[in-house]
Every structure is written in C-alpha cells, then in structure tokens.
Amino acid sequence: MTSTRHQQTPLAPSRATLWVGWIAFAAIVMFIVGGFNIIDGFAAIFKDEVFVTTSKGILVFDITAWGWIHLVLGVLQCAVAFFLLRGAMWARITAVALVALNALEQLAFLGANPFWATIIIVLDVVVIWAIVVHGDEARSF
C-alpha cells in the first residue's frame, strides 16, 4: 500500500487575490494627494495670499516654507506611488511613512476644515491598511 504525501514548499509564491486592487487604489490615492500637495505648494510659494488664517489659527509656521515642504512631499508621493504600483518593497515602506505623515498633517489642520481633514485621515488609514496587509500581492501586477 502506498501512501500519497503532499509536499508543500515553504516558499511557494502566493497567488494574487482580489485584494491586490487595494494596492492599486493606495497608489492612485497617493498620486492624487501628491498632486494636490504640489498644487498647494506652488500656490503657497508664488501666491501666499491664497492661504488665509483665521482667529482660530492654523498650525503653519511660514507660508513659503510650508509651500516648499508640500511641493517636495507631493513630488515624493507621486514618485513613490509609481513604484508602489510596480511592487517595490522599498516603495511600500516609504508609502506607509508618507501617508502617515500626511495623516498627521491633516490632524494639524483639523480645526480649519474638520470634515475634509477627517475624510483624508480615514483614507490615509485605509491606504496604510491596504499596503501593510496586502502589499506583497502587488508583485503580481
């Protein structure tokens, strides 16, 4: 009598599931947010009258410096989003850091626009979740 044994390879590649679409969603949202940050950055650098502080105040140190930070952050977000779509491991790690930074930034501006900031923070959390939980499936694109 012969017994059949199933041999499992411990490093067998995982099959992509429908959740891989969340990685594409995360990358696209990062690209859009990066574009918004680039636009905000240029507006703050070249026409800082666009941003008005109220009596409540907004956590901004210098409008021009804030613009340069947003411009650089936006360019980084767009670049990382491209490589996230390609499944690069370093892009997953960097994307989580950039999205977390964006969520903290939105928290700083919660007093200025609570509804929009809350929506962006929720989206940031969903993007972080998608990258952390389903990130290795991005290699199957």
- Token couple for 43: 């507006």
Q: Which of 63-72, 76-85, 108-117, 125-134 has the least mean pLDDT?
A: 108-117
Q: How many CB atoms neighbour CB 104 within 10 A? A: 11
Q: Tell me: the pLDDT tens digits for 44-82?
A: 788 766 555 555 555 555 677 777 888 898 899 999 999
What is the percent of the chain with per-residue pLDDT over 90, rounded to a whole number?
A: 16
What is the average per-residue pLDDT within 30-57?
75
> Whole-prediction pTM value?
0.71
Widest distance between CA atoms in the chain: 85
On the question of pLDDT at 97 being above 60, the answer is yes
Give the integer Cα–Cα distance in Å for 128 and 103.
10
